[in-house]
Structure formats: C-alpha cells, structure tokens
Structure 1
Amino acid sequence: MDEAAHAFGVFFRVHFGVPQPAVGASKARGRHLHWGSTGRADIPQPAAVVTLPDRGSGLTEMWASAGGNGRRGVTISCRSESRESTKQNGMILPSPATIASIYRYPVKGLSPESLPEVSLAVGRTLPADRAYAIENGPTGFDPAAPVWKAKTHYLMLMRNERLAALRTHFDDATHTLSIAADGAELARGDLRTAEGRAAIEALFAARFADELRGPPKLLDGAGYSFSDVPMKVVSIINLASVAEIEKMTGCTVDPLRFRANLYVEGWPAWAELDMIGQTLAIGDARLKIVKRTVRCAATNVDPQTAARDMKIPETLQRQLGHADCGVYAEVIEGGRIAKGDAVGVA
C-alpha cells in the first residue's frame, strides 16, 4: 500500500495541485491509504476536493488529506454520486427507469386503450395505434397510396375536445369498434365492412354536426398511421416531467393528456429532451429516440371530463422557453415489451 499511496500523491500533486503534507521525521510511519467499510477513506480533515468523471455511475469526488502527528501521508476517498442528472461524454445517463404503462389509440382523437404488453416491429408504430381517423371534410386521402396529412384534416382533440367524452374499444380479432358515452353504447361497427363504417360515421355526423366541414368518413390506412408526424414512431412521456408541469400550474395533470404510447417512471424531469439519438433497451426491443414532441392544445383537454381547462403549451413556453414534453422513438429492433420492464440506454 506504501507505493500505491505515493503514486496517488504524485498524481494529485501534478494534475490537480493538491497540497502536499509537510515532511516530518525521516522515514516516519510511511504513507497509507485508509479505507473505511463503506469504501470511503477515513478523512479527519480534507485538504482538497476534486470532482472527476466516473465511467460507472456518474461523478466521483476524491478527497486528499494529509496525515498528522508526525505522519507523512495521503488519504484518498472516492464517492460516486447519483446518476440522476449526470452526463458522460455528452450523453445523459438517466436513473434506473421502468415502463409504468403502455397505451394505444386505435382511432385518432378517440380514447386510449391500456395494454399489459405489446410486440413491436421494426419501423412500425404499436399495433393498431392511430390506425384509423375520422376525416373532417374531403381530404383526398387514398388508402391505396396514403400520403401523410396534418391532423387538422381529421377530427382531433386540439379543436374537437368533445371527443374526449367518448369511450371506445377496438377488438383486434373482429376489427369492431364500439363507442360509448355516460355508460351507454352509442355505436358499434366492423371497420372492415361498409355497413360497420357507416354506423360509426352516422354517430359523428349527428353528434359533431356543428364542427364538421363535410360528411365525416372513417379512414383506414391499411397499415398507415394517422400520427401527428410523418414518421412511424412510438411516443414516450416521462412522468417526472408531468410532475414538474403540475408544479408549474398548481394543478393535477392527468398524464393521458399527452396521449403517449409509453409512460416512463424513474427518469429525472426533462431528461428525455436531452436523449435525442440515444437507443433505449426495453424488454426485447430497441428504440432510437429521434425527436422531441412539441405539445399542442390537445393537452389542454381533460381526458376524463372533456373540459378544456388548462394551457399547458403556453405554460411550458413561458416557463421553459419551449413547448416540448416527451419524445418520439423509432423501433430499430423488434421484440416484446411489457409494463414494468426496465428502460435502459443500450
């Protein structure tokens, strides 16, 4: 240990200017590293503190102190700080995180469906996520050659908040969509058939007549996604960021206002905004974060009451200088993911 301690002392003197202990009696009791049971050296009085990057878990603080009572020595201590807000080589290292919940939205603008698990495919959205939309007036959409169009072409929460009062369920096996409100079923139809689509369209024609620019039409993109962005992506919300919005507004904020596919708990607030380009490892899948999500007025609508009762984008812009909350990710390696899965950085 004598030579190791000497090496540490020389290293600190040369690289960090740590004050060296005064030389006592020649060949006094030597130089020692005093390590406690917790991995921290026993330091009566630190002479200097240096913070260095630690490749394992964030920042490491190292203390150097001189021995006393005629001793000539260097005492070293290392302490690894939490990874919660650490960056390593410009890359953020989030705290251990998990998938708190998984949701899909079979019809654009309509209610979410919770999923315990789901299989992701490369370059695809969650199965049946935004697979359908209600056209608000003729758009020229051709399911045989689908071209992305902005959400303003469809019924959507940003303008049509009464959609949030509807409770929907989509059955994958039968392709049947059922729509209810206040506990009563309003419509049901097999979306593969003209009759089934007509039953759904009749409901919107009657219920949203004053908000329509033309006859409503249920669109099926046959694998196309009616997402807010042209890419086929998975949307992710950091629940800690939602908690920060609650602090900003002084109100309870239902995370479902953000209509994400994956809700993550365990990351520091806003950590997701600095993770563009990073690859997430979730279950058997890998997802590359490609874009921040700019929030729109849909987040102002309470998903339970359908009331437009908040101003979330405006609050973000005022408090943070932008309206971003959450990110989009592309599936680059398919596989099954489930609620409770760990979220790591691959």
Structure 2
Amino acid sequence: MTQVTSLWRHPIKSHGREAVQSTTLIAGHTMPGDRVWAVAHDASSADGSAWVSCGNFSRVSKAPALMAMTATLNDVTGMVTLNHPKLAEFTFNPDGDIAPFLDWVRPIMPSDRAQSARLVRVPDRGMTDSDFPSVTICNMSSHRAVQQKIGFDLSIHRWRGNIWLDGLAPWEEFDWMDRDIRIGDAILRPMERTDRCAATTTNPETGLRDADILSVLDSYGHRDFSVRAEVIQGGHIEIDNKAELI
C-alpha cells in the first residue's frame, strides 16, 4: 500500500523547511503555508502583483548556504522563525519591516551575486517554481534509487518536496501524468515532472555542495525528480494516509 510518510512546507521560498503532521489542501492552490513569500533580489522584476519565475529570487542554486535553514510559520500570527547553523535564531513578520531579516541573512549570502532586496507575496498564490499553483509529490523509492547510485545517505530535503509517499516502484510517479490520485480526502492531478538544478547538490545540514546529484539523474536519461500536481479537490491529508490512483 502506498502511504504518506511526511509532509513539508517552505514558508519563505528557499529559506527553510518545516514538517507538518497534516494539512488541508484547497482546490487550485499550493499547500497552505508553502512558498507564501519569496525573497526578491536587487535585479528582480518581482513586485508581488503576479507569479514570476524563480530567477527573480534569492535561492539555493545561487546561495547554497540557504539550504541549511529551517523555518516555523505561526499560522495564527503570521510570524516566521528561522534557524541556521551559522546564525542565531530569528523571528519576524514577513509582511512587516524586513530590514532586520535582510541584515540577519546577509552573512550567508554570496557577495558576488545579486543581493536580497525585498520580500514579495502574491495573494492566494504560493511562489512555486511552476507557472501554475502546484503541490510537489515525491517518491521515497526514487530517492532511494538515487541514494544507492551515489553510494551514501542523502537527505530528502535536497528535493524540497511537499508530500512524500512510500510503497511505489522507483520512478513510478512519472507514469501519473494527467491521472487523478486520491490522498486522504484530497484529489491531486500530476501535471509535470520536476526538473532539477544545482540546489540538489547541497547538503541540507551544512549548506555545502557535496554531491553530484545532477550526474546521477543524467544516468537515468533525465534531470527530473518528483511531480508537480494540481489540487483538483481540496481535503484534509495527514501522515499515514493512503494514496491511490482513481
């Protein structure tokens, strides 16, 4: 049986991950609390009026140290608490004065890259990498296949997914395109495979690049891992829920 093994959200794009025990998906939306904010750099055209591509934001592929960050979003107050092994714990309101946040994160940002300048938020639209509101579904068996090829343990956080499933064959998720999947009370439809970048080469504990993940994916004839799904029917999902094609 295929089951949910973990659920993750990333309140600020590329700036931390947070485990949740359950969530309630909404049709046509990203996971609640996921990529609510994104950090636009000083060369970005993002103004919060609409979705824009990931190149407009500070992200792990250009600033590897960001990968080691964890985050906690208070759903009631909107406050976000960030932790990083090289920085003191920091709590702030992303919709308020962000100057202290920019000062806090600056020591781990590369000086030769575009610098973080502001936070943007698009109403009712998480800033996922897809041009449609998506939830990323990951397959533990595919992760283990990559891990076996590279020859040492890998954290699942390299993939920055939302829903992790176990009980499938490796890469079986790629056969799900345009098919509906029931997870808990929700129905999702995978729309595209998730193409991967240099962010995956970075260790989520240290923030250092230490694994040639892209070459491993190349050996399979692609650079994809996980699928991006649209929420067709909203509903509650939680750890250990069954996942099945319908």
TM-score by length of 1: 0.68
Secondary structure in 2 matching 1:331: strand
Deviations 1:55-88 (A, max 9, x none): xxxxxxxxxxxxxxxxxxxxxxxxxxxxxxxxxx
1:108 corresponds to: 13
Deviations 1:176-230 (A, max 9, x none): 122233386343212232x2x2221222345426144245212222322221111
Deviations 1:244-269 (A, max 9, x none): 11121112121111111000000011
Larger Rg: 1 or 2?
A: 1
Identity of aligned residues (%): 25
Give, in whole Å, the separation in 2 of the partners of 1:296 and 1:165: 17
Give, in whole Å, the separation in 2 of the partners of 1:120 and 1:211: 39
Secondary structure in 1 matching 2:111: helix
Which deviates more, 205-214 or 154-163?
Answer: 205-214
1:241 corresponds to: 142
Q: How does 1:1-346 map to 2 (within 5 A)?
A: 96-143=1-48, 145-146=49-50, 148-182=51-85, 185-193=88-96, 195=97, 197-208=98-109, 210-214=111-115, 216-317=117-218, 319-346=219-246
TM-fit CA distance, 1:304: 1.1
Secondary structure in 2 matching 1:216: strand
Rate the CA distance shift 1:205–1:182 in 2: closer, same or farther, 3 A.
closer
Secondary structure in 2 matching 1:263: strand
* Count of residue pairs the alignment pairs up: 246
TM-fit CA distance, 1:141: 2.0
- The question of whether the paired residues in 2 share the 8 Å contact of 1:232 and 1:330 is answered with yes
CA RMSD after TM alignment: 1.7
- The question of whether the paired residues in 2 share the 8 Å contact of 1:205 and 1:216 is answered with no
Give, in whole Å, the separation in 1 of the partners of 2:77 and 2:121: 15
| Alignment gaps of 5+ in structure 1 | 1-95
| Alignment gaps of 5+ in structure 2 | none
Give, in whole Å, the separation in 2 of the partners of 1:188 and 1:263: 28
Give, in whole Å, the separation in 1 of the partners of 2:157 and 2:68: 14
Q: Using CA pairs below 8 Å that are at least 6 residues apart, which structure has the higher relative contact order?
A: 2
Q: Which runs of 4+ in 1 moved over 6 A?
A: none
Rate the CA distance shift 1:214–1:156 in 2: closer, same or farther, 3 A.
closer
- The question of whether the paired residues in 2 share the 8 Å contact of 1:204 and 1:216 is answered with no
Give, in whole Å, the separation in 2 of the partners of 1:129 and 1:109: 11
Rate the CA distance shift 1:278–1:136 in 2: closer, same or farther, 3 A.
same
Give, in whole Å, the separation in 1 of the partners of 2:110 and 2:223: 32
- The question of whether the paired residues in 2 share the 8 Å contact of 1:97 and 1:265 is answered with yes
Give, in whole Å, the separation in 2 of the partners of 1:134 and 1:276: 31
Give, in whole Å, the separation in 2 of the partners of 1:215 and 1:133: 10
- The question of whether the paired residues in 1 share the 8 Å contact of 2:9 and 2:19 is answered with yes
Deviations 1:259-317 (A, max 9, x none): 11000000011101111111101111100111111111111111111121111122211
TM-score by length of 2: 0.94
- The question of whether the paired residues in 2 share the 8 Å contact of 1:200 and 1:218 is answered with no
- The question of whether the paired residues in 2 share the 8 Å contact of 1:151 and 1:228 is answered with yes
1:73 corresponds to: none
TM-fit CA distance, 1:132: 0.7
Give, in whole Å, the separation in 1 of the partners of 2:107 and 2:181: 44
Give, in whole Å, the separation in 2 of the partners of 1:192 and 1:198: 11
Deviations 1:66-113 (A, max 9, x none): xxxxxxxxxxxxxxxxxxxxxxxxxxxxxx200000000001112211
Rate the CA distance shift 1:214–1:302 in 2: closer, same or farther, 3 A.
closer
1:67 corresponds to: none
